[in-house]
Amino acid sequence: MKLLKTIRWTVLVSALVLVPHGAVRAQETNQLNQLKRQLEQMQENFEKVQRAQREQIEALTKQLNEVIQQSTATADQKKLEAQLALELATNQPAAAPSAKGLDKAPWSPAQPLTVARSGASYLNMSFDGMFAVGGSSAQDIPALEFGGHDPKQNGFTVQNLEMTLDGKVDPYFRGQANIVLQIDPDGATSVEAEEAYLETISLPWNLQVKAGQYYTAFGRINPTHPHTWDFVDQPLVIGRFLGPDGLRNPGAQVSWLAPTPFYSELFLSVQNSGGETANSFRDVAGTELITQRPGVDTSVQNAGDMLYSPRYVMSFDLGDEHTLVLGGSGAFGPNASGQDGRTAIYGADLFYKWKSRQHDKGFPFVTWQTEYLYSHYEAAAYPGSPGFSPAAATTINNWGVYSQVSYGFRPRWVASLRGDYVTGQPGDFWADPLLDDRYRISPALTFYPSEFSKLRLQYNYDHIQSVGVENSVWFQFEFLLGAHSAHKF
């Protein structure tokens, strides 16, 4: 029994011992698995977190990069701007205007012309002011100095106040206007639209059309403005035949550049034949002066009563330094002596220039210009009026010439000499002594402080057949503001 008991106990004990042993073993495996699971879980968690964090980091990095990129871009731009500003600043005239504070200079009347900075505005604008001071031995100076811009009295004369506007109108036309203000000896200011015309830029067949109010292309002096003249006054023959203000009227002109190896151009102009700027034509006052009998206010009946002016001009270069220009002109139209009155003026002109091939500002140079004009004036029969007996039709033929030489002997200095001669076949009723045969010798000395200003001293020795000798001395000064439009040759 005892043994049984013992066995029981042993079994129990061993069971007790063994059972726990087995239980412990089972417990250990459980724990291991648990731990393993835990570890796996943690690892999984860690990886998850890591992944999430990495994603977060990546996102942040991306964001950061974007931000950085942006900021560097702005920084780069800022840097470039600064660099450009510096470059632009150094691009300015280093010393002159800014240093003298001209940038901040107050507005002055000379400045508005900067709006017409060439190429930066739609038109070029300039203003020319030309004045004369001096005196003459003659009593009637306006009759002696016949030209519209000539000195008109002892003392000062405002010769010309001229505003010039010019520019491209559109791809087809160029436009120009010369508006002139004049102050008469009695102080009255008058406005004259000397020229206002458009000109085609590129017609086919080498043609060019000019239309509007313009100076007739007759000879060399007539189409130019007094600013370009070599003397204080207009040549005598131009004043007598083409009028004190030159020959200009509303009309249209076509010119053709001929396909010759040398320059040659043909002009044909059709203009109105009346008004005071068509002195030898249907201008009543001009007609009265020429015919010395009352004029008739005629009208335009047909196309033949217009003013027609052809001109042909050619030019040759004789080497680098010599240029010759030859031209022939005509002007044909009715006059105001009656419905049958006709005028024909013919002109021949020559211009020669020598200019050194090493010239400094265009000096030294020599120019020689001569124009010869012949006027054939057919005065119609005059029916008579109170105080004037009738007169038969008559023809008045006159001619005149001027020749001038200018020598630009050193930069800015020009010495000039001009000779004038006109014949004076008298009219019927009363003889105006100032329309007699006349010659004039005019030496002049011009100083150009710059191409925009001019000082000129001139002496005129004037011989009029039935009057005698008159002496005049004139001093001229001129300024030019704004764009200086280039001179034609």
The nearer residue to another protein, 241 or 351, going by C-beta atoms, is 351
50 binding another protein? (CB under 8 A): no
| Other beta carbons within 10 Å of 207 | 12
Number of Cβ within a 10 Å radius of residue 64:
11
Options 8, 317, 455, 466; binder of another protein; rule CB under 8 A: 317
**Structure tokens belonging to residue 430:** 């009363």
**Residue span 124-163 as binding mask against another protein, x where in contact by CB under 8 A, dash where not:** ----------------------------------------
Sequence-separated (6 or more) residues with CB below 8 Å from residue 121? 115, 167
CA 297 → CA 212, 313, 317, 330, 336, distances in Å? Answer: 24, 35, 48, 24, 6
How many residues of this chain interact with another protein, rule: CB under 8 A?
Answer: 66
- Whether 310 and 347 have beta carbons less than 8 Å apart is answered as no
> Can residue 261 be called a binding residue for another protein (CB under 8 A)?
yes
Q: Say whether residue 201 binds another protein (CB under 8 A).
A: yes
User: Hey, what are 224's tokens?
Assistant: 């130019």
99 binds another protein (CB under 8 A): no
From the list 238, 239, 174, 265, the residue with the least C-alpha distance to 212 is 174
Contact between 230 and another protein by CB under 8 A: the answer reads no
Residue 76 is given by DSSP the state H
CB of 250 to another protein, least distance (A): 21
Which CB, 316 or 409, lies closer to another protein? 316
- Site residues for another protein, 414-453, by CB under 8 A, read 450-452
Pick 116 or 141: Cβ nearer another protein: 116
Q: Is 112 in the site for another protein (CB under 8 A)?
A: no
Of 169, 146, 150, the closest CA to residue 160 belongs to 150
* Residue range at the interface with another protein (CB under 8 A); choices 51-59, 112-120, 154-162, 398-406: 112-120
Structure tokens that stand for 52 in this block? 């999430």
Residue 423 phi, psi dihedral angles, 5° rounding: -90, 155
What does each C-alpha distance from 126 to 37, 121, 382 come to in angstroms?
A: 99, 13, 48
Q: Which of 215, 224, 205, 119 is nearest to 168 (CA)?
A: 119
Query: Using the rule CB under 8 A, is 188 a contact of another protein?
Result: no
Note whether 135 and 484 are within 8 A (CB). Answer: no
Spatial distance between the Cα atoms of 346 and 340, rounded to a whole number of angstroms: 20
Which residue among 2, 3, 109, 119 contacts another protein (CB under 8 A)? Answer: 119
Q: Tell me if 463 contacts another protein by CB under 8 A.
A: no
Looking at 180-309, list the stretches that DSSP marks H as alpha helix, in order from N- to C-terminal side. 236-242, 284-291
Token pair listed for 377: 């004036």
**Residue 31 binding another protein, by CB under 8 A:** no
Q: Which is nearer to another protein, 403 or 485 (CB)?
A: 485
Q: Which is nearer to another protein, 119 or 386 (CB)?
A: 119
Give the single-character DSSP code of 37: H
Name which of residues 202 to 221 contact another protein (CB under 8 A).
202-203, 206-208
For another protein, the closer CB: 212 or 433: 212
* Residue in the block written with tokens 């270069």: 317
* Site for another protein contains 348 (CB under 8 A): no
Nearer to another protein, 21 or 410 (CB): 410
Query: What type of residue sits at position 159?
Result: Q
484 forms part of the interface with another protein (CB under 8 A) = yes
Alpha carbon of 264 to those of 206, 309, 331, 337, 345: distances in Å?
12, 17, 19, 37, 22
Least distance in angstroms from the C-beta of 285 to another protein: 34
**Choice from 320, 386, 392, 430 touching another protein (CB under 8 A):** 320
**Shortest Å, Cβ 317 to another protein:** 5
What's the min distance (Å) between Cβ of 161 and another protein? 19
**What does the binding site for another protein look like in residue numbers (CB under 8 A)?**
87, 91-98, 102-103, 105, 110-111, 113-114, 117-120, 168, 171, 174, 199-203, 206-208, 257, 260-263, 265, 313, 315-320, 323, 325, 353, 355-362, 411-412, 450-452, 484-489
